[in-house]
Each structure stands twice: as C-alpha cells, then as structure tokens.
C-alpha cells in the first residue's frame, strides 16, 4: 500500500521495525524542506510576512493534530515525543497532586517512559506503584484491574497498545471505571495512535501521549494531550520565552494561556510542520484502512510463523501489527544479524520493557512491527529465511 | 585463514564455550560487561594469584560472536601475567581498529581480524575485553 510514497523503500530493504520508528513519505520531507527553504523564521514572534506564515503553519498543525484525536486546540501541546509528554504529566501534574501512600497502577509490559517517571515519584513523593496482573496472553482485563484497584488508587497509567506484546487495552471501559472511582487515567498512545482510530472524547482518557515519528512524521515531535481543566494545573517544567505574558519581578510573572504556556522556547517548527503533513498523509489513506491492513498482515504473518516448529510466538492474539518471537537455541540478536544479511530490519532485545521478562519467561525476543506499507511478499521472504534453523545458525555469524 | 575456517572456530566456541559457568567462583573477582548498543550481558569471574591470572569463568546471555570472543579470550589469558594480559588486550584492540598488531600470540582470536569491517559487531567482539580490562587496571593500582 502506498509504497511509492516512501523514498526509503527504493533501497533494497525490508523494514519491519515500525514500532521503533516509521519511514517518512516524501510529502513530509518536502514540507520540512519547504519550511527551511522558503519561510524559515521563528513562530509567535515576527511582525513580517514569513514569520506570520510560520505562525499560521504552526497553529494549523496544532488544529490538524487536535482533529486527528478529536481534542480541542488548546488541549494539544507539542513536545519532543512520548517520553517528554509522559515526564511532563508525571512531574508537572501528578507530582503536585499525589500524597505519600497514594497508589499508581501500571503493568509490567509498560515502556520505560511509563515506568521510570513513576519510579522517581515513588522515591520523591512516597507514592506506591502497583502492577495490574496480566492474564495468560499478557493482557489487561477488567477483572485484574478491579482486583488491583484500592481506595488509595489515584492514577492508572497504561499503554493503549504495548510495544512488545502488541496487546490492545480496553481503554474506554477502563476510563469509565477509573473515573467512577475518582482516579485519573493516563494513556501512552505511542503504539496506538499511529495504528488505530483514537478519539480522546470517546475514550475519555485524562492524558494521552504519543510520538509523530512513529506515524510517518519527523523525529523530535510528540504530543501531550490533556483535558483542559487538568492542563490548567500542569506546572510548566520549562520556563522562558514564548510562554509568559509579562514579568517585572519575581512576584509579577504572568504566564500565557494554554497551550503556549507549556511550550517554552523556540519549538521544533520544522518538525511540527512535518508532523502536520504526516497527519494529512495518514488521513488521506484513512486510519481505519491502515488498521485493517495491519491486522490482515499480522494474521498472515502469525499463520505462517505458527507452522515453523522452532519459532515460538509470544503473542499471536493482539489486534496490532506487533509480533514478538524467539527461535529455539538461537539468541535473539543473532536472529537479527542473520536477517540483516538479507536486508531485513528487525529489532532484538527487551524493547525497553525490562520488567516484562519475568512475565514472559524470556529476556530477549525478536520483534516484527508492521505498518501499512509492508507486504505479504516481504513476510514470505522473512518466513522462508526463518524456516531453516540450521541455516540461521550457519549464517548468523 | 579462510572464512569457513573462521566460522567453524566461532561456532565451536559458541556451542562449547570455555568455562561458561559461575559454579566454583567463590573468591573470584566478578565484573559485569554489557553493551548499550546490543543486548549482550555477561559476568566475568577472574582469579588472580601472584600477579598471574589463574582462572577465568563467565556466565550470562550473549550473541554468538560475543560468546565465542569471550571463550577465546579466556583460553588465551589463563596462565598469563597481568602485564601480558594487558598487552593482549591492547594488541587485540589494535587489530580491531586497523592499527599495527602482532599476530603471533592471538591464537584463535585471529578469527576476528576482519571484524573492523562490521561496525555493528565490534562491540560484540570487544565485550569481554572491556570487562576484564576494568579488573586488571584496578588490580594493578
Ligand atoms: C509504548 C511506548 N511508549 C513510549 C515510547 C517512547 O517513545 P519516544 O521514544 O518517541 O519518546 C515508545 C517508543 O518506543 C513506546 O513503544
């Protein structure tokens, strides 16, 4: 699907590492190059034409992103990525709200960026981190959420789709329960927003974080979505230009309205312009088509891999394009090196979910993460290379 | 040495690594070596007496190249003095970085003489050397 739009695909590679980052279509590259070539000025500052043009492009990008997730414009803050968004949520909002003994629920399959900020808060604020137990398919169920939830639970913070197992969590149901019990729901959308329809009003999450580079956009741009009334009390971690109205002395600092208050300093303007182009691009294909295509490819991949005895799939079930597996007697990294000889890009390791290993019983896996531009022919090639174990061992070095 | 021969030596050291165990390492100096770019993670256990490396064992999870490199390094270093081991490390490092090196005492480690061409595998090969160097340097002080 749409392979001609991606200059990287002119090289002789099979790219299966879309969970790490996706390839960029030409329109995104062009939009950024156009900014640098034709109206390279700062935003929110200038009194001249090209600077005004930057303002318009920047704020249009915000509008575009807001519509993509059905948020209001002032609820969309540009950041450098999911990691920064989650850190801002934890240290700018929850650090001021939570009391010692308050409980935060996460799982063992969260990405480091949804674990470590909470770990630090546990050290500094005395909050308690608890893990929702995963079922046999490494999924979060409502029953397990209910059994971990206590009257001290103040926050549930979960990936919508996880980056190792690829399971999709029932966020809407979780939000309903969490809100009925006076807690907050933070959603890490890094692996979901690029791949499935995400409507923050429908889901009713309190915060959502995601990265544009995982959805055809440039690196260095992310989004922090928060419900307006919550963002109002998020304390800016960065202070400086562009976010204040005035300051005369220590006691007379007036900050700007949302969302500018949370975007101090010169922003990643080229990135945001590229991000907007990426959103346009995904819209032109249709997010539902993208999702359907990925599920089709995933089911195809799983059905083929299941026929290979020495390949063990960790997660055949999830409704996402992520498949993690191991090969009997071969270290995950050696599988990756072997595939690399055939220009197939896959990721080996623990995928930044270091506490998951206790759960799935293996430390390291090989991960295939698909996007809509992958093909069944690519999958066939992968499967045929994996089908002969002796060959893997012979050629892995 | 031709590539098939090299591959065989590497595979042999991978399938039957020297001293891959943490049993009987009481009193050994332990050092962890892991790399940021890949997922190799090994523990080395070293026994030094009278400035001589009496024994080395290792344990952990590592790719074929790292495991083989560790196995070969262990064979080369057991019985040598700290100074000899330090010069082996330096010599090996020279080979990996396309500098002049002495191929007379490399033994099986010569299989890595072309690893400099594969940037992404250099870290695998050097993993055990990084670990043991730390121990030897601090021992000398
Ligand atoms: C589930 C999940 N959360 C968070 C992140 C972090 O994203 P970024 O590195 O773009 O900040 C990732 C990226 O690997 C991810 O997969």
Q: What's the mean pLDDT in B43-59?
A: 95
Mean pLDDT of B50-59: 95
Q: Ligand 1 centroid vs B32 CA: distance in angstroms?
A: 28
Q: Which residue of B has its CA nearest to A366?
A: B39
pLDDT score recorded for residue B120 = 80
Question: How much is the average pLDDT of B16-30?
Answer: 94
Q: Which pLDDT value is given to residue A1?
A: 77
Closest ligand 1 atom to residue A80 Cα is 11
pTM of this prediction?
0.91
Whether B42 and chain A come into contact, CB under 8 Å, resolves to no
A205 noted as active-site residue: no
What's the mean pLDDT in B88-110? 94
> Is A397 close to B61, i.e. CB distance below 8 A?
no
Mean pLDDT, all residues of chain A: 94
* Number of domains chain B is built from: 1
Structure tokens at A246: 């005035």
Q: Give the pLDDT score at A230.
A: 97
Query: Which among B39, B61, B65 has CB closest to A397?
Result: B65
b/e code B18-31 from CB counts within 10 Å (16+ = b):
bbbeeeebeebbeb
Give the pLDDT of residue A228. Answer: 97
CATH number at residue B64: 3.90.1010.10
Segments forming the whole domain that contains residue B119: 3-140
A211 lines ligand 1 (CB under 6 A): yes
Range with lowest mean pLDDT among A23-27, A265-269, B135-139: B135-139
Chain A contacts of B10, Cβ < 8 Å? Answer: 397
pLDDT-derived band at A358, boundaries 50, 70, 90? low
Share of residues in chain A with pLDDT > 90 (%): 85
Percentage of chain A exceeding pLDDT 70:
97
Taking CA atoms, what residue in B is nearest to A350?
B39
Q: Above pLDDT 70, what percent of chain B?
A: 97
- Looking at the domain covering A26-284, what would its CATH class be? alpha beta
Query: Which of A80, A108, A111, when mutated, tests ligand 1's pocket best, judged by the most ligand atoms within 8 Å of its CB?
Result: A111
User: Is B64 part of the contact surface with chain A (CB cutoff 8 Å)?
Assistant: yes
Distance, in Å, from the CA atom of A68 to the CA atom of B112, rounded to the nearest integer, reads: 52
* Closest ligand 1 atom number to CA of residue A84: 11
- The yes-or-no verdict on residue B141 having pLDDT over 80 is no
Give the distance from residue B82's alpha carbon to the nearest chain A alpha carbon, in angstroms.
31
Chain B residues in contact with A349 (beta carbon < 8 A): 38-39
Task: Confirm or reject: Cβ of A82 under 6 Å from ligand 1.
Answer: yes
Residues of A in contact with B5 (CB under 8 A): none
- What are the tens digits of pLDDT across the range A250-264? 888 888 888 999 999
Interface ipTM = 0.81
* A351 C-alpha to ligand 1 centroid (Å): 10
Long-range contacts, stretch A384-388, CB < 8 angstroms, 24+ apart: A385/A338, A385/A339, A385/A342, A385/A344, A386/A305, A386/A308, A386/A311, A386/A327, A386/A335, A387/A308
Cα A112 to ligand 1 centroid, rounded to whole Å: 8
Quick: pLDDT tens for A139-166: 999 999 999 999 999 999 999 999 988 9
Q: Is A87 touching ligand 1 by the criterion CB < 6 Å? A: no
B36: pLDDT confidence band, cut at 50, 70 and 90? low
**Predicted pLDDT of residue A354:** 63
Residue bearing tokens 């000398």: B140
- Confidence label for A6 from pLDDT (cuts 50, 70 and 90): very high
Q: Is A331 on the interface with B (CB under 8 A)?
A: yes
Sign of the alpha-carbon dihedral angle for A43, A44, A45, A48: positive
CA distance A110 to A104: 13
Is residue B34 pLDDT above 70, yes or no? yes
CATH topology of domain A3-24+286-396: 3.90.1150
Q: Which chain B residues touch A393 with a CB distance below 8 Å?
A: 11
Rounded to the nearest 5 degrees, what angle is found at the Cα of A54, between the Cα atoms of A53 and A58?
120
Greater confidence (A239 vs A172) lies with A172
């Amino acid at each position: 699907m749409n392979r001609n739009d991606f200059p990287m695909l002119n090289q002789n590679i099979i790219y299966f590492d879309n969970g790490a980052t996706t390839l960029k279509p030409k329109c995104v590259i062009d939009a950024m190059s156009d900014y640098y070539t034709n109206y390279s000025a700062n935003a929110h500052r200038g009194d001249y034409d090209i600077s005004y043009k930057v303002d318009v492009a920047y704020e249009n990008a915000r509008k575009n992103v807001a519509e993509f997730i059905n948020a209001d414009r002032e609820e969309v803050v540009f950041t450098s990525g999911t990691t920064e968004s989650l850190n801002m949520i934890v240290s700018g909002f929850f650090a001021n709200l939570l009391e010692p003994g308050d409980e935060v629920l996460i799982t063992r399959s969260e990405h480091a960026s949804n674990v470590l900020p909470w770990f630090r808060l546990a050290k500094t604020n005395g909050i308690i981190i608890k893990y929702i137990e995963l079922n046999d398919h490494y999924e979060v169920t409502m029953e397990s959420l209910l059994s971990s939830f206590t009257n001290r639970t103040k926050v549930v913070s979960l990936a919508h789709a996880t980056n190792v197992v690829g399971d999709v969590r029932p966020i809407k149901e979780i939000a309903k329960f969490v809100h009925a019990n006076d807690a907050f729901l933070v959603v890490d959308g890094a692996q979901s927003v690029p791949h499935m329809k995400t409507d923050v009003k429908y889901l009713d999450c309190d915060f959502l974080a995601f990265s544009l580079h995982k959805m055809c956009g440039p690196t260095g741009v992310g989004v922090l979505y928060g419900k307006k009334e919550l963002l109002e009390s998020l304390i800016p971690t960065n202070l400086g230009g562009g976010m204040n109205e005035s300051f005369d002395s220590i006691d007379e600092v007036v900050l700007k309205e949302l969302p500018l208050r949370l975007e101090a300093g010169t922003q990643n303007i080229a990135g945001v312009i590229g991000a907007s182009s990426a959103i346009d691009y995904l819209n032109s294909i249709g997010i539902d088509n993208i999702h359907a295509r990925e599920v089709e490819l995933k089911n195809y991949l799983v059905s083929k891999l299941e026929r290979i005895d020495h390949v063990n799939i960790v997660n055949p079930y999830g409704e996402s394009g992520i498949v993690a597996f191991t090969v009997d007697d071969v270290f995950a990294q050696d599988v990756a090196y072997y595939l690399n000889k055939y220009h197939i890009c896959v990721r080996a390791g623990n995928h930044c979910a270091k506490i998951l290993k206790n759960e799935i019983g293996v430390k390291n896996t090989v991960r295939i993460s698909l996007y809509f531009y992958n093909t069944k022919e690519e999958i066939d090639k992968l499967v045929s290379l994996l089908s002969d174990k002796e060959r893997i061992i012979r050629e892995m070095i | 040495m031709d590539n098939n021969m090299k591959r065989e030596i590497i595979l042999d050291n991978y399938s039957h690594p020297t001293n891959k165990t943490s049993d009987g390492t009481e009193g050994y100096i332990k050092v962890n070596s892991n790399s940021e770019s890949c997922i190799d993670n090994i523990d080395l256990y070293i026994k030094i007496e009278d400035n001589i490396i009496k024994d080395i064992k290792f344990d952990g999870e590592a790719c074929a190249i790292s495991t083989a490199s560790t196995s070969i390094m262990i064979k080369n270093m057991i019985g040598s003095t700290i100074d000899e081991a330090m010069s082996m490390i330096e010599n090996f490092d020279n080979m990996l970085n396309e500098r002049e090196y002495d191929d007379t005492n490399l033994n099986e480690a010569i299989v890595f003489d072309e690893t400099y061409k594969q940037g992404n595998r250099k870290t695998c090969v050097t993993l055990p050397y990084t670990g043991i160097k730390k121990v030897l340097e601090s021992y000398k002080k």
